[in-house]
Amino acid sequence: MPELSLLTWTVGIAALVIGILAGHFGWGKRWPGSLSKLHPDYLTGLDYLVTEQPDRALDMFLKLMDANADTIETHFALGSLYRRRGEVERAIRIHQNLLAREELAPEHREQALLALAQDYLRAGLLDRAEGLFQQVSEVPRLRASALDSLRGVYERQHEWQQALDVYRLLARIKAAPPCLVAAHYMCELAALAIERGESDTARRLLRGARAEIAPFPRAAVLRAQIAERDGELGLAIRLLRTALREAPKLMQEELPHLLRLVAPDARDAVLGELVAQAESRDLDELKHLVFAAISAELTDAAPLRAPIEKIFAQDATLQSVWRSSPGQFDAERSDARRGDAQRIAHEIGALLAHAEKYRCNECGFAGRNFYWHCPACHSWDSFEPYAIVKLG
């Protein structure tokens, strides 16, 4: 049994044993002189534990533990513990065991249904989770919690309109997450509308997103796609410049897009402005621009030469590569140094193509692709590019 799982069991079984004893003797009653009245199955359960048969032990203890007012919280605490530990099947058994008891009070039945729905969500059984969350959302005291979880179910299924509808219900009871989330739902819907060629619908949705939150760079990027398709290149360029100014983290994704739209003779002017903008802020932003330029094979662009050399000389990861380059501190050999910078840039570019470029600042999930919605923890807008070259 893995170490974490063993810890879970230690804590879980301690809770169960306390629960059994509490149910058996009753809290607050005088403690009996001996434990000889314990049901023999209790000792059998302990024996299962000792012989490392945790599921049989759990069955035995659940059978023994009365779901009365004294022990009900122990059931819920244990179920929640298992779910958090990822041992969802055990959590499901605990909550199903509760629901099978006819004497269960209505408020505990509702709570058990909510807990079981959360188990199903964690297990990826989305249809079952959806049905139970809908059912529980009719209970006023559990409505906010059930609706918020239902929103999560629709997010996982990419049912963005339903997620938005539930968001509106939550807003009505003042339990909605930040408006950024609603803006992303509308952007998801707008992206689908753009794919279908429904520009009017997409524009309306993007206006809605910007009404939720502004500035909102994602809406600008999508609006630029529509403008580009409509042949409004000037507008598309302005929108992408705006998006990159507001969200430099989009540089890797959108710099190539922007440069495709500008005329070849205007490229260096645009790059020069981006360099000036990054330098006026901080070194990390200049790094994002340099890495994006390297990925886009722009290392020969005149405005980028000095920033590339600057970043190579200052970045801790790249410093060793840079120092090994002959003549880098020799002012007389500036051409050789430039050649080295170009060579290193190409090598870094090849490495970047296979490197992790982004990381979720909520859960640490890292990958080569940018996501607005973290595939691991489902946070919105949590992806940031590495400010260092992070290789694999």
- The footprint of Zn ion (CB under 5 A) covers 360, 362-363, 365, 374, 376-377, 379
Compare residues 76 and 386 and give the one whose CB is closer to Zn ion: 386
SS3 1: coil
Compare residues 172 and 368 and give the one whose CB is closer to Zn ion: 368
Return the H-helix or E-strand segment holding 99. Answer: helix 88-99
CB of 282 to Zn ion, least distance (A): 24
Q: Cα 23 from chain centroid?
A: 41
DSSP 329: T
Max Cα distance, the chain (Å): 94
CB of 250 to Zn ion, least distance (A): 18
SS3 358: strand
CB of 203 to Zn ion, least distance (A): 30
CB of 24 to Zn ion, least distance (A): 44
CB of 205 to Zn ion, least distance (A): 25
Compare residues 167 and 365 and give the one whose CB is closer to Zn ion: 365
CB of 370 to Zn ion, least distance (A): 13
Compare residues 76 and 185 and give the one whose CB is closer to Zn ion: 185
Give which of 17, 21, 45, 49 is closest to 35, Cα–Cα.
21
CB of 361 to Zn ion, least distance (A): 8
Compare residues 120 and 365 and give the one whose CB is closer to Zn ion: 365
Q: Residue 359's beta-bridge partner residues?
A: 366, 384
Q: Hey, how many other C-beta atoms are within 10 angstroms of the C-beta on 155?
A: 20
CB of 372 to Zn ion, least distance (A): 11
Give which of 160, 120, 155, 113 is closest to 136, Cα–Cα.
113
Compare residues 326 and 364 and give the one whose CB is closer to Zn ion: 364
Compare residues 223 and 359 and give the one whose CB is closer to Zn ion: 359
Residue by residue, DSSP assigns 31-54 as PPS-STTS-HHHHHHHHHHHTT-H
The 3-state secondary structure of 251-291 reads HHHHHHHHHHHCCHHHHHHHHHHHHHHHHCCCHHHHHHHHH
Tracing tokens 């968001």 back to the chain, one arrives at: 167
Give Cα separations from 178 to 8, 168, 209, 382 (angstroms): 34, 12, 13, 14
> Phi then psi for 15, rounded to 5 degrees?
-65, -40
Give which of 26, 52, 20 is closest to 38, Cα–Cα.
20
CB of 358 to Zn ion, least distance (A): 10
> Is the preceding omega at residue 40 within 30 degrees of 0, hence cis?
no
Q: Cα 153 from chain centroid?
A: 14
Radius of gyration of the chain (CA): 29
Compare residues 312 and 365 and give the one whose CB is closer to Zn ion: 365
Compare residues 24 and 359 and give the one whose CB is closer to Zn ion: 359
Compare residues 234 and 364 and give the one whose CB is closer to Zn ion: 364
| Tokens coding 241 | 């410049």
CB of 148 to Zn ion, least distance (A): 18
Return the H-helix or E-strand segment holding 385. Answer: strand 383-385
